[in-house]
Amino acid sequence: MIKRFTRVSAMAMMALGFIQPLAAQVRLQSSTGNAISVDFKMEAYGHTTVSTSQGEAFLYTFEHAARLQEKGAPDLPKYTRSVIIPDNAKMVMEVIPGEFEEFTNVLVAPSKGVITRDKDPQQIPFTFGKEYTENKFYPEELATLASPYIIRDFRGQAISFNPIQYNPVTKTVRIYKGITVKLIAKGNSTVNAIQRTASLSEVDGTFAPLYANHFLNYSSSRYTPIGETGGKMLIICPASYMDEIAPFVAWKNSIGIQTQVVDYATIGSAAALKTYVTNYYNQNGLTFLLLVGDNAQVPTSSTTAGDSDNNYGYIVGSDHYLDIFVGRFSAETEAQVTTQVNRTIYYERDLSASDASISKGVGIASNEGGTGGDDGESDEVHMGNIKTDLQGYGYTISNCYQNGGSASSLSTLINNGTGIINYVGHGSNTSWASMVYTSANVSALTNVNKYPFIISVACVVGNFKSLTCFAETWLRATYNNQPTGALVFCGSTINQSWASPMCAQDKMNDLLVANTYKLYGGMFVNGMFQMIDEYSTDGMNMADTWTIFGDPSVYMRTPSHPNGPTATTSCGVPANLVASNVAQTSATLTWGAVTSASSYGLRYKLSSATTWVDVASLTATSYNLSGLTANSTYDFQVKTTCASGTSAYSATKQFTTTASASCGVPASLAASNIAQTSANLTWGAVTSATSYALRYKLSTATAWTSVASITATSYSLSGLTASSIYDFQVSATCASGTSAYSATTQFTTLSAGGSYCAVGSTRFSYEWIAKVAMNTFTNSSAGSAYTDYTSKIIALATGSNTVTLTPGFASSAYSEYWAVYIDYNNDYDFDDSGELVFSGNGTAAVTGTITVPTSATGSTRLRVVMKYNAAPAACGTSYGDGEAEDYTVTFSGTTPPLPTTYCTSKGNSSTDEWISKVVIGSFQNVSTASGYTDFSAKTVSVTAGQSYAVTLTPSFSGSAYSEFWKVWIDINGDGDFTDSGEELFSNSGSAAVSGTITIPANLALNTRMRISMKYNAAPTACESFSYGEVEDYTVAITRGSGRQEFTDPVTETSILSIFPNPASTTATLQLNDSYLGDVQLMVIAMDGKVVYSQQEAKPDNAFEICLPVTQLAKGTYSVVVFEGAKKISKRLIVE
């Protein structure tokens, strides 16, 4: 039935009384194996009026409604709930509309889209999108079905109801009082399908209330919860924190949470950790994951949204609904771990149920938001509604809003004792920014034994990866060495959206007052589930990056549940675990006696394994293990059995069995027969090796590709990428064990255009190429018929370059003939005119020059051939005695003008920290500790005007420290780093830092780069400092690959004059502007190839350059001049 109302004005609608939002209801009508029926009822709705560019407009809402959030489209509410669906069915939706009303002559305001909390929604104007020109109702569907997802045991699907539709052209609002949705299983679906090996009869007791609250059709009577307050916890912890976390492990075990600790060093990376957690969940079952340490100790994972500890908890299915509860004790010292352990144990075990702080709370809200929040609420209205709910539950809530609150008043409330804090507003890395409260304020708190749990909606307060964020400060805070701060804090690693986290915060507090959850993790995660249901992709992004700092299993002490959990046994946990008499396959394990113990249980395993070997009913306090694997690390734990029950297992202790004999590391790694997509890799044999393992990767990648069980000392790779630098390493496997991997060796695949002819001698035992030196580049080598050194880059400048070629002899010296070839035109041969660039002969080193033409740009192949007693050719593999070597050569515009000396800079001590890896674009260099290292023989090839990714990695002998980095390039080649713009990069952190550098267009074509890392303070280019390291490199500049885009309009062409134009012999270029300094001139042909390059100093406003054109073919060219960062272009015709 339809009730139609026409000509209703805004004032008339307000008279209907629908101003404040009222509740809607969703009820499950029926749920069988393959069919589900759900009814939506809306008895009343509300609206508010806003000002837009088209006049006063309405925003409709009803209680607990989310917004569609499609920017520019009508801003309308929706209501979302989830149901459990069959494991692998495709659900088809049937929508049955109910009675509706229509109102005409109504303007509905457009949506502002998803707004992050670094902005104020009230300051963002309403923008009317294309939907306002379309004569149809929006949204078109009365209900929609989201993609299926999995939460541990169940497959779910969210239904969204759209009871209000709007036609912007006719200005008609249609409001439905009821909508019925029927879901029917038709066929199969592979989207997040569950493949069960047995029917489900039991569920984790910690997740049972989550299922009941989240799914409309969950039936608790069908499934038996296992352990309402139990579950299993996995703790990932560095070995250095094991002793500090041990009391926490013992406490959790004592209250029924089966807890195991694993050393992160046995896992090794974020990707490996995600795999480890997934396997652990599948093999052992898992409820809680606790990471102990900062990012440097146990790294966070990531999703497309940002840094994400929660990504470790996405296990079943490919969705963003957590399958376990994830938290972090973020700590950089043992003391910080102890602080969080002691605070948690005190709160759960020792805090009196009558403590007044339990029933107190604080609400904090910004004065912004307007109608942009969830349910159309401002931050203050939102927090007021939460206050009403909490006070009805028994809390006494104090406001500390942006309007009227202060840092001092909040500190007083916390120091006097408060059990819960809700915050909604702006944030920064180190503060709440609405009613400003900083990390310094937190550190000054004195609230010993009065610890609130905190629900924070704010930007980046949990951004912990490379700094100590606001959330971490709450968990690390102490006063007189006693814990203060917060029990647990949820903080985002990214800018949070305005509305969606408010939805989650509402849900968390609703669940708290409904007595649905006693554990912080359950309350937090269920709130996020509702947020994902309602806000889809935006909700997923928020869920990925909202981090629990603290114990996710912590038991919240509330007015209705003031008591903490109780220990289930009083039987002591064994201590003083020791491994002695450790041999290749055996060890003796001992532990301290426990009073009243009747027996002990021992379990042990390889550290890399997940399954324990149990030894039960031991009456002594020692046990001899046998049958172990040599050269392997083992974990072991012990528990006690008493008359009163069984204790938890002890903290894990480790020992490593001895190796039977060492297995040598392969050496003499080499790459040959390199083509575009293939290469042959070889290495020297290792005595007693039974097989070898090879791993290789692109030099810019982090993940290796491994090839195991190779019985030969060579292997042919295929499927490689052309024009790419690869790393490879080899390890040996012997009967006694496996060696470490060798040092990294590199090779470069050929460009995609073709391959070079083979070259090499038939014998090199009498003579060989011992050393190649060109300008500052040198390479020394032993004998080989042919060696591919294309991973080594020789920088040559236009004009004259020095070359020295040195032979090596087994005994007598012979007359050797030399030839150097350069493939200038990149056509994969050395046959063209001018490509034999050097020749000479003698019985010792030969010296000369290579003259590079001004047209040479980019990079290409350089070949050095030495032949006994006759001039060598560029190709051929059977020319007798001698050797051939290939290199990569890059060209720049002038003879390399590197100053002979630069100012001194170094770290006086590099034993604690040093530069271990430098990556700039495709260039990388790995090094060991040194106060200063001159790597100027290593060349970083870059392109003028281009940006390059930079990653600078420190290494530490022990604890990680805060290191400050800077990168300078001597842009004008004047021998210093003091000129404007020569500092190109600056960053700091206790782990690898990343960013970009942009190469100036006016960079000297061959110059010095300096990288400095200094402990705890920003370095200058010329200083000696206490701790850190400095490294120098050579930068070789090219103008791209030698081919430039041929376009005329660039900038300010009136500055450049060319006459005569057309020209036949010479052309004069005149620059008329105020720029003074170096200018770079290029002439570019129609095919994009740079045919001429020159660098000059411009001393006056009017400056002329004489350009010879006789060597240029007739045709049209583009003349490009770089004045610093400014690019000027004009056409030139040569006839």
pLDDT higher for 470 or 576? 470
Count of helices and strands (H, E) across the chain: 11, 76
pLDDT at 91: 94
pLDDT single digits (tens) 780-791: 998 899 998 887
Average pLDDT for 932-939: 84
Domain that holds residue 923: 906-1038
Per-residue b/e over 184-204, b at no fewer than 16 CB within 10 Å?
ebeeebeebbeeeeeeeeebb
pLDDT single digits (tens) 575-593: 889 999 988 889 999 999 9
Q: Distance (Å, rounded) from C-alpha 812 to C-alpha 70?
A: 83
pLDDT at 8: 33
Percent of the chain's residues with pLDDT above 70: 91
The residues annotated with a catalytic role in the active site are 426, 459
Average pLDDT for 208-217: 87
- Specify whether 315 is located in the same domain as 245: yes
pLDDT at 1081: 73
Whether the predicted pLDDT of 86 surpasses 90 = yes
pLDDT at 747: 81
Question: Is 1045 a member of any domain?
Answer: no
Question: Is 725 a member of any domain?
Answer: yes
Residue 926's alpha-carbon distances to 83, 174, 562, 699, 916, in angstroms, are 54, 67, 56, 11, 6
What element of type H or E holds 420? strand 420-424
Average pLDDT for 282-308: 94
Question: Do residues 509 and 424 make contact, with C-beta atoms less than 8 angstroms apart?
Answer: no
In this predicted structure, which of 172-186, 729-743, 1095-1109 has the lowest mean pLDDT? 1095-1109
Question: Is 211 a member of any domain?
Answer: no
Give residue 309's pLDDT band: very low, low, confident or very high (50, 70, 90): very high
pLDDT single digits (tens) 633-681: 999 999 888 877 778 788 789 999 887 667 888 888 888 777 778 888 9
Give residue 1039's pLDDT band: very low, low, confident or very high (50, 70, 90): very low
Q: What share of the chain is helix, strand, coil (3-state, %, to 5)?
A: 15, 45, 45
Residue 104's alpha-carbon distances to 12, 141, 163, 251, in angstroms, are 12, 20, 17, 65
Q: Distance (Å, rounded) from C-alpha 127 to C-alpha 111?
A: 8
Whether the predicted pLDDT of 574 surpasses 70 = yes
- Specify whether 90 is located in the same domain as 155: yes
- Specify whether 642 is located in the same domain as 700: no
- Specify whether 689 is located in the same domain as 827: no
- Specify whether 798 is located in the same domain as 682: no
Residues 6 or more apart whose Cβ sits within 8 Å of residue 961 = 912, 913, 990, 1015, 1016, 1027
Whether the predicted pLDDT of 529 surpasses 80 = yes
Percent of the chain's residues with pLDDT above 90: 52
pLDDT higher for 1066 or 176? 176
Whether the predicted pLDDT of 455 surpasses 60 = yes
User: Roughly what angle, to the nearest 10 degrees, separates helices 379-393 and 500-513?
Assistant: 10
pLDDT single digits (tens) 1012-1027: 999 988 999 999 988 8
Q: Distance (Å, rounded) from C-alpha 122 to C-alpha 1038?
A: 50
pLDDT at 1046: 34
CATH number of residue 535's parent domain? 3.40.50.1460
Question: Do residues 56 and 85 make contact, with C-beta atoms less than 8 angstroms apart?
Answer: no
What element of type H or E holds 259? strand 258-263
Domain boundary among 631, 656, 681: 656
pLDDT single digits (tens) 844-861: 999 999 999 887 877 789
Structural domain count, the chain: 7
With vertex at residue 1117, the alpha carbon angle to CA 1113 and CA 1120, rounded to the nearest 5 degrees, is 135
pLDDT at 1042: 36
Question: Is 1044 a member of any domain?
Answer: no
Q: Distance (Å, rounded) from C-alpha 491 to C-alpha 998?
A: 34
Per-residue b/e over 710-725, b at no fewer than 16 CB within 10 Å?
beebebebeebeeebb
In this predicted structure, which of 98-112, 136-150, 366-380, 396-410 has the lowest mean pLDDT? 366-380
pLDDT at 1116: 72
Give residue 6's pLDDT band: very low, low, confident or very high (50, 70, 90): very low
Question: Do residues 638 and 577 make contact, with C-beta atoms less than 8 angstroms apart?
Answer: yes
Average pLDDT for 308-322: 94
- Specify whether 697 is located in the same domain as 610: no
**DSSP string over 710-748:** E-SSEEEE-SPPTT-EEEEEEEEEETTEEPPPPPPEEEE
pLDDT at 996: 85
Question: Do residues 527 and 519 make contact, with C-beta atoms less than 8 angstroms apart?
Answer: no
- 728: β partners: 696, 745
CATH number of residue 706's parent domain? 2.60.40.10
- Specify whether 484 is located in the same domain as 600: no
Pairing relationship of beta strands 232-237 and 288-292 according to DSSP bridges: parallel
DSSP-based three-state secondary structure for 209: helix
Q: Give the other-Cβ count within 10 Å of 74's Cβ.
A: 28
Q: Distance (Å, rounded) from C-alpha 439 to C-alpha 437?
A: 7
Whether the predicted pLDDT of 888 surpasses 70 = yes
Whether the predicted pLDDT of 894 surpasses 60 = no
Pairing relationship of beta strands 453-457 and 420-424 according to DSSP bridges: parallel
CATH number of residue 72's parent domain? 2.60.40.3800
pLDDT single digits (tens) 107-166: 999 999 999 888 888 889 999 999 999 999 999 999 999 999 999 889 999 999 999 999
- Specify whether 295 is located in the same domain as 436: yes
Whether the predicted pLDDT of 15 surpasses 60 = no
Whether the predicted pLDDT of 743 surpasses 50 = yes
pLDDT single digits (tens) 800-835: 899 999 999 988 899 999 999 999 887 788 988 889
Q: pTM of the predicted model, to two decimals?
A: 0.55
- Of 501, 584, 486, 583, nearest to 539 (Cα)? 501
Question: Is 37 a member of any domain?
Answer: yes
- Specify whether 389 is located in the same domain as 461: yes
pLDDT higher for 1102 or 273? 273
Whether the predicted pLDDT of 1 surpasses 50 = no
Whether the predicted pLDDT of 1048 surpasses 50 = no
What element of type H or E holds 393? helix 379-393
- Specify whether 952 is located in the same domain as 991: yes
CATH number of residue 1071's parent domain? 2.60.40.3080
Residue 313 per-residue DSSP state: G
- Of 335, 76, 318, nearest to 190 (Cα)? 318
CA dihedral 903, 909, 914, 915 (to 10 degrees): 10
- Specify whether 969 is located in the same domain as 1081: no
In this predicted structure, which of 165-179, 897-911, 1075-1089 has the lowest mean pLDDT? 1075-1089
DSSP-based three-state secondary structure for 379: helix
- Enter the tokens of residue 432: 């709440």
- Specify whether 372 is located in the same domain as 274: yes
Question: Is 800 a member of any domain?
Answer: yes
Give residue 1003's pLDDT band: very low, low, confident or very high (50, 70, 90): low
pLDDT at 1041: 37
Domain boundary among 531, 549, 567: 549
Domain boundary among 1009, 1038, 1067: 1038
Whether the predicted pLDDT of 54 surpasses 90 = yes
Question: Is 664 a member of any domain?
Answer: no
The mean predicted confidence, pLDDT, of the chain is 86
pLDDT single digits (tens) 1058-1088: 888 888 888 888 888 877 777 777 777 655 5
Whether the predicted pLDDT of 235 surpasses 90 = yes
Question: Is 860 a member of any domain?
Answer: yes
CATH number of residue 926's parent domain? 2.70.50.30
pLDDT at 10: 35
**What are the backbone dihedrals phi and psi of residue 283, each rounded to the nearest 5 degrees, phi first?**
-95, -30
